């Protein structure tokens, strides 16, 4: 049930305590994929996962701006600080809780949000009556049934493939060949287990990590289906979870 498509009287009759909140980002994804890639993919996974879930969940609107200062040298990228991001998402969860949806799964589509989401969900659980957990779709175990061997990068084959399937008109297909040729293989500049780079512009000219030529719409369909299945299983686990807080041990 999409929250934004309901009236308040319709949503008041919804008997569930489970909500799904997609969280994305607006940032560069190379010369071929749209700035809204992370928001588009998080939304698509959230919608597909709720559809697959054998139960009822309220689907909230997608948060479109995240922690993305690492891409700030590329025009069009938007970002907020981690403090602002955590507070905004936490207060959004709080508003969901006010209406009785006190089990919240955050469907995340951006790597830069991962640490902040885990931290704020821990704070929500420890300091309120709500239960919240983040689900970063591309970090889930979703690659085993994909016909091509692709892994997550940035603007690479995984993200590009999903957008090619869900929003093909937004992918500049004529630029994928060059994007692949100019892509880098890894994220950052590593020495002694330390990433020396803070910004993507330090190690990539075109903003692409991983070769987007390796995927395609068919792979995107498989990835989306696999991610939706994983999310549906998580929603079931969250719905069944005993959220009673452990007592302090004396």
| pLDDT per residue as tens digits for the range 190-211 | 999 999 999 999 999 999 999 9
Reported as a pLDDT band with limits 50, 70 and 90, residue 245 is confident
Mean pLDDT of the chain: 95
pLDDT at residue number 147: 87
Give 43-81 pLDDT, tens digit per residue. Answer: 999 999 999 999 999 999 999 999 999 999 999 999 999
What is the average per-residue pLDDT within 142-157?
A: 92
Nearest to 14 by CA among 78, 101, 125, 119: 101
Reported as a pLDDT band with limits 50, 70 and 90, residue 244 is confident
Q: 60, 21 in Cβ contact below 8 A?
A: yes
What is the average per-residue pLDDT within 6-17?
A: 93
Residue 2, φ and ψ in degrees, nearest 5: -80, 120
pLDDT at residue number 210: 95
Give 87-110 pLDDT, tens digit per residue. Answer: 999 999 999 999 999 999 999 999
pLDDT at residue number 209: 96
Q: 87, 116 in Cβ contact below 8 A?
A: no
pLDDT at residue number 248: 66
Residue located via tokens 């049930």: 1
Residue 73, φ and ψ in degrees, nearest 5: -75, -10
3-240 topology per CATH: Rossmann fold (3.40.50)
223: pLDDT strictly greater than 80:
yes
**What does the chain look like in DSSP terms, one character per residue?**
-BGGGS-HHHHHT---SEEEEEE-----BTTTB-TTHHHHHHHHHHHHHHHHSSS--EEPPPB---S-GGGTTSTT-----HHHHHHHHHHHHHHHHHTT--EEEEEE--GGGHHHHHHHHHHHHHHSS-EEEEEEGGGSS--TT-SS-----BSSHHHHHHHHHH-GGGS-GGGHHHHHHT-BSSSS-EETTEE---SGGGT-SSS-BS-GGG--HHHHHHHHHHHHHHHHHHHHHHHH---PPPPPP-
| Percentage, residues of the chain above pLDDT 90 | 91
Give 13-45 pLDDT, tens digit per residue. Answer: 899 999 999 999 999 999 999 999 999 999 999
pLDDT at residue number 214: 95
pLDDT at residue number 250: 63
Reported as a pLDDT band with limits 50, 70 and 90, residue 145 is confident
């Amino acid at each position: 049930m999409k929250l934004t498509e309901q009236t308040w009287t319709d949503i008041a009759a919804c008997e569930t305590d489970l909500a799904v909140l997609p969280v994305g980002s607006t940032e560069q994804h190379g010369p071929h994929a749209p700035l809204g890639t992370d928001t588009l993919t998080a939304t698509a996974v959230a919608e597909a996962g709720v559809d697959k879930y054998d139960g009822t969940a309220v689907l909230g609107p997608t948060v479109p701006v995240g922690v993305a200062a690492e891409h700030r040298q590329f025009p069009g990228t938007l970002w907020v600080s981690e403090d602002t991001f955590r507070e905004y998402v936490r207060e959004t969860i709080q508003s969901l809780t006010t209406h009785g949806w006190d089990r919240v799964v955050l469907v995340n589509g951006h790597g830069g949000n991962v640490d902040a989401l885990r931290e704020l969900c821990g704070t929500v659980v420890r300091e309120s009556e709500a239960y919240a957990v983040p689900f970063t779709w591309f970090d889930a175990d979703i690659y085993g049934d994909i016909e091509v061997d692709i892994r997550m990068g940035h603007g690479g084959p995984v993200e590009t493939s999903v957008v090619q399937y869900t929003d093909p008109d937004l992918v500049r297909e004529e630029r994928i060949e060059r994007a692949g040729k100019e892509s880098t293989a890894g994220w950052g500049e590593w020495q002694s287990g330390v990433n020396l780079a803070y910004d993507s512009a330090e190690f990539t000219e075109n903003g692409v990590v991983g070769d987007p030529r390796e995927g395609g719409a068919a792979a995107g369909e498989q990835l989306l289906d696999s991610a939706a299945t994983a999310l549906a299983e998580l929603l079931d686990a969250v719905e069944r979870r005993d959220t009673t807080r452990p007592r302090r041990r004396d």
